[in-house]
Structure 1
Amino acid sequence: MSSAKVQRPGRKPLVALTGATGFIGRHLLQGLTARGYRVRVLLRRPTAMPDSCASVLIGDIAKPFNMSEALAEVDAVIHSAGVPHAMTGLPEDDYRLFNTEATVRFAKAAKRARVKRFLFLSSIRAQSGPAAAGVLTEEQEPHPTDAYGRSKLDAEKGLAETGLDWAALRLALVYGPGAGGNVAKLLKLARAPYPLPLAGLKARHSLLGLDNLVEAVDRILTAPAPLNRPFIVADPAPVTVAEIVRALRQGLGRRAGLFYVPPPVLKAALRAVGPPIEIAPLFGSLVADPAALRALDWAPPVATQHGLAALARQMPD
């Protein structure tokens, strides 16, 4: 395969994007358009046309029998659609259908359309459970612990068999305006008017700001081919839950208001009252090293603490 870049000289790349109405997809659409990319949004059903896209096509990527029109003249595909991890209790077959099988079929359609690169938004959960003893790297053997993580890893394996130039971005927990899940729950805690017993939590966690993700996607899209591998995407400096809440409260113009409770006592209390967030991430670290992405000259523009403070200012009560 040629080592030429995806971008053609004198021509702004045309990127096909799935999941453009979702939390991450909306930001990718805005961020890539601002960087000069032409973005063609692929939707499963008619909805309001997202702002900033070059065109919108309706179709079911889970059944890509004829995607020639949708992918005509497309330089690269960014596949961000899928079943999110937050949908707990979903049958494993559904994760496999939407996150694995639909992804591989879509990639094969992209290859038939002569798309140069397929960028798949995977997850750090394709590599690990909610906690890991050491720092995660792509060279380690993946050990997903739930249906969501297995579906993402299986999709990566399927992409490797298509013969298409591909990259899978194993995203750390993403934060930014519109974030749900544990990010939204931590923000709710930070907004609470009372002190919080979180000062003793020392477990560290890799997060990923939306602006840093856009920068990573840009680097992947313009990197010399072929890639054919996964990339961990995470802010460089992991943080503790206490540091997350401190940064959020700083964004709200408040003092941290954290005090120390021995972790075993706190764990027992949380289990007794039913915590608003998962217990495992509070007491177990999940740190991931994006060294392979940095080797592509990825330089995240936003420091985690600054991004969290900005999030607190931007998110409504």
Structure 2
Amino acid sequence: MNIFVSGGTGFVGGHLRKALLERGHHLKLLVHRPSGSYEPGVEQVEGDVTRPETFVRHFAGCDAVINLVGIIREFPSRGVTFQRLHVEATRNQVEAAKQAGIKRYLQMSALGTRDGATSRYHRTKYQAEQFVRDSQLDYTIFRPSIVFGPKDDFINKLAGMIRTLPAVPVIGDGKYRLQPIAGDDVARCFAMALEMPETIGKTYDLCGSTRLSYNDLLDCIGRALGKSHVSKIPNPLVLMKLVVPLFQNIPAFPITMDQLLMLIEENICDGAWRDTFGFEPQDFDTGIRGYLQ
């Protein structure tokens, strides 16, 4: 297949490019500035998902579209907002696919996305999903949990804190649960879905095999780094809800209210996706040891 991929230059995109190329696909990779650094079989096309006139012509000759575009934090002064990058970018690509006569469309959303979600991140992801569902395209939507791998942001950031700080701050009691999934496993589901007609019109929550409280997650990362104990400093949730809104617009401040709300509401799923795709996800403890060490 010839596949148009947006958001494919990031962390998950790196895993996806590898998975698709291994299956013999040719990729049109949307980039802001072309370079010579991508793999054979990848054609770089210049454009911006928020400006359809810059990329619609590149849909010609493609058999499928994969949209990985997403942000975890807004920077409105730079035009980086959930509305633009989640909702408008999706709408632009859905319309471009319809105009080009492309039927197959895969969308990356996020675990926890739902109507009436507490965070703006999840609410805009849900709006984007609705554009896809209403498009009459042959769509598949994936909602991954926290994704881990050698170039991830979340696990590596926590590992950096554990390496350098005498104690790691914890929001609330740290008992809220997470279920991380490997980047290779997310990419494998995307690649397999292209060859599985039964995934058309479906939405899949993607999570790993291990549920961990946030405290247990920190301990697991600590063990991977060779530490027998990770000291933690609880920060009362009530206090954090007062402090974070005051400082979240400062780029260097490590968390926003959206991120806080998503963290404490948990990020787990039932693992039913395995019934369709037929493989077991990578073990979290083994997976992070492979790159943190």
* TM-superposed deviation, 1:144: 1.9
Aligned with residue 238 of structure 1, among 190, 199, 211: 211
Separation in 2 of the partners of 1:104 and 1:162?
A: 9
Match for residue 109 of structure 1? 96
TM-score (normalizing by structure 1): 0.74
RMSD of aligned residue pairs (Cα, Å): 3.4
Contact 1:247–1:309 (8 Å) recurs in 2: no
In 1, the alpha carbon distance for the partners of 2:56 and 2:166 equals 57
Which residue of the other structure, out of 96, 99, 105, is the alignment partner of 1:118? Answer: 105
CA distance in 1, matches of 2:156, 2:42: 31
Say which structure is richer in helix. Answer: 2
Which residue is equivalent to 1:25? 13
Percent of pairs with identical residues:
23
Task: Read off the aligned partner of 2:30 and give its amino acid letter.
Answer: L
1:100 matched to 2:73: no
The letter of the residue matching 1:148 is: Y
Q: Are the aligned partners of 1:216 and 1:298 in contact in 2 as well (CA < 8 Å)?
A: no
Q: Find the aligned partners of 2:122 and 2:94 in 1 and give their Cα distance.
A: 19
Q: Conserved in 2, the CA contact under 8 Å of 1:29 and 1:52? A: no
Matches within 5 A, 1:143-222: 143-180=116-153, 182-192=154-164, 194=166, 201-222=174-195
For normalisation by structure 2, the TM-score amounts to 0.79
* Paired residues of 1:215 and 1:298 also in contact (CA < 8 A): no
Q: CA deviation at 1:234?
A: 1.2
Runs of 5+ consecutive residues of structure 2 not aligned to the other structure: 245-252
Amino acid at match of 1:218: A
1:133-174 CA-partner distances (Å, limit 9, x unpaired)? xxxxxxxxx332222222111111111121111122112111
- Paired residues in the alignment total 278
Paired residues of 1:75 and 1:117 also in contact (CA < 8 A)? yes
Matching of residues 235-314 of structure 1 within 5 Å? 235-252=208-225, 254-258=226-230, 266-268=234-236, 284-291=265-272, 293-313=273-293
- Is the contact between residue 94 and residue 131 of structure 2 (CA under 8 Å) also seen in structure 1? no
Offset, 1:33: 1.5
Task: Please tell me whether the aligned partners of residues 247 and 306 of structure 1 are also in contact (alpha carbons under 8 angstroms).
Answer: no
CA deviations 1:36-57 (Å, max 9, x no partner) are: 3222212234344422443122
Q: Which amino acid aligns with 2:147?
A: V
Q: Which moved more, 1:268-277 or 1:50-59?
A: 268-277
